[in-house]
Amino acid sequence: MTSIDALPQAPFLAGSVVRTGKQADVIDGIKPRVVVEPRTSEELASILASASRERLTVVFRGGGTRLGWGRIPQPIDLLISTRALNRVLAHEHADLTATVEAGATLDELAGTLGQHRQWLPLDRTGEAATVGGAIATNDSGPLRHRFGTPRDLLIGVTLATTDGRLVKAGGSVVKNVAGYDLGKLVSGSFGTLAAIVSATFKLLPMPAAWHTLSAAFDTADDTARAAAAVNDSQLEPVSLEVRTARSGRDAATYRLLVRFGTSPAAASAQVEQARALVGAGEIIEGDAEASLWRRYQAHTSSSAGTIVTLNWLPAMLARVLALLDEIAQTGASVELAARAGIGAGQLRLDGSMDWQAAAVARLRGQSDLLRHVTIRDAPPAVKQAVDAWGPAGAAAAIGAAVKRALDPAGILNAARGPI
Amino acid sequence: MPIRERVVSELERICGPGAVVREPLQLLTYECDALPHMRATPDLVVLPQSAAEVHQIVRLCAREGIPFVARGHGTGLSGGALPVPGGIVIGLARLNRVLEIDIPSRRVTVEPGVTNLDITKHVAPYGYYYAPDPSSQQVCSIGGNVAENSGGAHCLKYGFTVHHVLALEAVMADGEIVHLDSAIAGAPGPDLVGLIVGSEGTLAVVTRVTVRILRKPERVRTLLAAFDSIGAAGTAVSEIIAAGIVPAAVEMMDALAIEAAEAAVHPNFPAADAVLIVELDGNAAEVEELFPVVEAVCRRAGATSIEIARDDAQRARIWRGRKAAFAAMGRVSPNYYVQDGVVPRTKLPEVLERIRRLEARCGLRIANVFHAGDGNLHPLICYDGKVPGQADRAVEAAGEILTYCVEAGGSITGEHGVGLDKVDFMSRMFTEDDLEVMRRVRDAIDPRRLCNPGKLFPTPRLCGEVPGPYREHPIEKAGLAERF
Ligand SMILES: Cc1cc2nc3c(=O)[nH]c(=O)nc-3n(C[C@H](O)[C@H](O)[C@H](O)COP(=O)(O)OP(=O)(O)OC[C@H]3O[C@@H](n4cnc5c(N)ncnc54)[C@H](O)[C@@H]3O)c2cc1C
Q: Quick check: is B426 in a domain?
A: no
Collect all residues with Cβ–Cβ distance below 8 Å to B383 and sequence separation of at least 6: B333, B334, B335, B336, B337, B364, B390, B391, B393, B394
Shared domain for B163 and B146, answered yes or no, is yes
Domain count along chain B:
5
Phi, psi (5° rounding) for residue B46?
-120, 140
Digit-coded pLDDT (tens) for B376-393? 999 999 999 999 999 999
Nearest CA distance, B402 vs chain A (angstrom): 12
Q: What's the B34 CA to ligand 1 centre distance in angstroms?
A: 9
Asked if pLDDT for residue B482 goes beyond 60, the answer is no
Q: Quick check: is B12 in a domain?
A: yes
Q: Quick check: is B354 in a domain?
A: yes
A148: which chain B residues are within 8 Å (Cβ-Cβ)? 159, 163, 184
Digit-coded pLDDT (tens) for B256-280? 999 999 999 999 999 899 999 999 9
Which residue's alpha carbon is nearest to atom 46 within ligand 1? Answer: B81
Asked if pLDDT for residue B479 goes beyond 70, the answer is no
Residues 299-318, chain A, touching B (beta carbon < 8 A): 309-311, 313-316
Q: Which of A330-334, B22-26, B83-87 has the lowest average pLDDT?
A: A330-334
Q: Residue B170: what pLDDT?
A: 98
Query: How far are the Cα atoms of B79, B283, B326, B340 from residue B323, in angstroms, in the given order?
Result: 21, 25, 7, 15
Shared domain for B134 and B203, answered yes or no, is yes
Q: Residue A12: what pLDDT?
A: 86
Shared domain for B224 and B303, answered yes or no, is yes
Q: Which of A173, A233, A377, A389 to mutate to test the interface with B (most CBs of B within 10 A)?
A: A173
Digit-coded pLDDT (tens) for B6-42? 999 999 999 999 999 999 999 999 999 998 788 899 9
Q: Quick check: is B390 in a domain?
A: yes
Contact call for A151 and B195, based on CB within 8 A: no
Is CATH 3.30.70.920 the classification given to domain A88-205? no
Digit-coded pLDDT (tens) for A23-52? 999 988 899 999 999 999 999 999 999 999
- Ligand 1 neighbours by CB, cut-off 6 Å: B 33-34, 69-77, 80-81, 92, 112, 134-136, 140-141, 143-145, 147-148, 150-152, 200-201, 205-206, 326-327, 415-416, 452
Shared domain for B328 and B338, answered yes or no, is no
Q: Quick check: is B149 in a domain?
A: yes
Digit-coded pLDDT (tens) for B429-455? 999 999 999 999 999 999 999 999 999
From B459, B380, B450, B451, select the one nearest B416 (Cα to Cα): B380
| Average pLDDT score, chain B | 92
Mean pLDDT, to the nearest integer, of A238-265? 93
Ligand 1 atom closest to residue B77's alpha carbon, by position in its atom list? 15
Which range of residues forms the domain containing residue B377?
A: 333-421
Counting one residue from chain A and one from chain B, the pairs whose CB atoms sit within 8 A come to 266
Q: What's the B148 CA to ligand 1 centre distance in angstroms?
A: 6
**End-of-domain residue from the set B72, B91, B110:** B91
| Average pLDDT score, chain A | 93
| B151, closest residue in chain A (CA to CA) | A175
Q: Residue B477: what pLDDT?
A: 39
**End-of-domain residue from the set B421, B441, B467:** B421
Shared domain for B262 and B205, answered yes or no, is no
Do A155 and B410 meet the contact criterion of CB atoms below 8 Å apart? no
Q: Which of B77, B184, B251, B437 to mutate to test the interface with A (most CBs of A within 10 A)?
A: B437
From B459, B443, B384, select the one nearest B84 (Cα to Cα): B459
Ligand 1 atom closest to residue B75's alpha carbon, by position in its atom list? 26
Q: Which of A175, A211, A406 to mutate to test the interface with B (most CBs of B within 10 A)?
A: A175
Do B245 and B271 meet the contact criterion of CB atoms below 8 Å apart? no
d(CA B351, CA B372): 12
From A197, A169, A185, select the one nearest A47 (Cα to Cα): A197
Confidence of residue A414 (pLDDT cuts 50, 70, 90): confident
A266 touches chain B (CB under 8 A): yes
Residues 7-46, chain A, touching B (beta carbon < 8 A): none
Shared domain for B64 and B34, answered yes or no, is yes
Digit-coded pLDDT (tens) for A165-214? 999 999 999 999 999 999 999 999 999 999 999 999 999 999 999 999 99
Strand partners, A35: A19, A79
Asked if pLDDT for residue B476 goes beyond 60, the answer is no
Digit-coded pLDDT (tens) for A83-129? 999 999 999 999 999 999 999 999 999 999 999 999 999 998 788 89
Is CATH 3.30.43.10 the classification given to domain A7-83+407-411? yes
Q: Residue A330: what pLDDT?
A: 86
| B174, closest residue in chain A (CA to CA) | A398
Asked if pLDDT for residue A373 goes beyond 70, the answer is yes
Asked if pLDDT for residue B471 goes beyond 60, the answer is no
Query: How far are the Cα atoms of A54, A87, A137, A184, B327 from residue A130, in angstroms, in the given order?
Result: 28, 11, 11, 18, 47
Q: Residue A43: what pLDDT?
A: 96
From B262, B227, B229, B253, select the one nearest B332 (Cα to Cα): B262
d(CA A145, CA A312): 14
Asked if pLDDT for residue B475 goes beyond 60, the answer is no
Digit-coded pLDDT (tens) for A295-320? 998 876 666 899 999 999 999 999 99
A367 touches chain B (CB under 8 A): no
Per-domain residue ranges for chain A?
7-83+407-411, 88-205, 209-385
Contact call for A315 and B104, based on CB within 8 A: yes
Shared domain for B222 and B324, answered yes or no, is yes
Ligand 1 atom closest to residue B161's alpha carbon, by position in its atom list? 11
- E-strand ranges in A306-369 read 306-311, 333-339, 344-350
Do A292 and A194 meet the contact criterion of CB atoms below 8 Å apart? no
Fill in the amino acid letter for B141. Answer: S
User: What letter does residue A6 receive in the DSSP assignment?
Assistant: T
CATH number at residue B30: 3.30.43.10
Q: Quick check: is B325 in a domain?
A: yes
**ipTM associated with this complex:** 0.96
Shared domain for B473 and B413, answered yes or no, is no
**End-of-domain residue from the set B91, B121, B145:** B91
Ligand 1 atom closest to residue B147's alpha carbon, by position in its atom list? 34
The model's pTM:
0.95
d(CA B316, CA A111): 42
Digit-coded pLDDT (tens) for B322-379? 988 888 888 889 999 999 999 999 899 899 999 999 999 999 999 999 899 999 999 9
User: What letter does residue B49 receive in the DSSP assignment?
Assistant: S
Q: Kindly state the helix (H) or strand (E) to which residue B397 belongs, with its residue range.
A: helix B390-407
Q: Quick check: is B370 in a domain?
A: yes
Q: What's the B205 CA to ligand 1 centre distance in angstroms?
A: 14
Q: Residue A281: what pLDDT?
A: 96
Select from B135, B197, B202 the residue to mutate for testing ligand 1; criterion: most ligand atoms less than 8 Å from CB. Answer: B135
Shared domain for B357 and B414, answered yes or no, is yes
Is CATH 3.40.462.10 the classification given to domain A209-385? yes
For the beta carbon of residue B58, count every other beta carbon within 10 angstroms: 28
Mean pLDDT, to the nearest integer, of A284-298? 93
From A73, A101, A108, A99, select the one nearest A87 (Cα to Cα): A101
Asked if pLDDT for residue B465 goes beyond 60, the answer is no
From B165, B120, B126, select the one nearest B143 (Cα to Cα): B165
Nearest CA distance, B241 vs chain A (angstrom): 7
What 3-state class would DSSP assign to B270? coil
Asked if pLDDT for residue A403 goes beyond 70, the answer is yes
Do the first three CATH levels of A88-205 and A209-385 match, i.e. the same topology? no
Contact call for B244 and A269, based on CB within 8 A: no
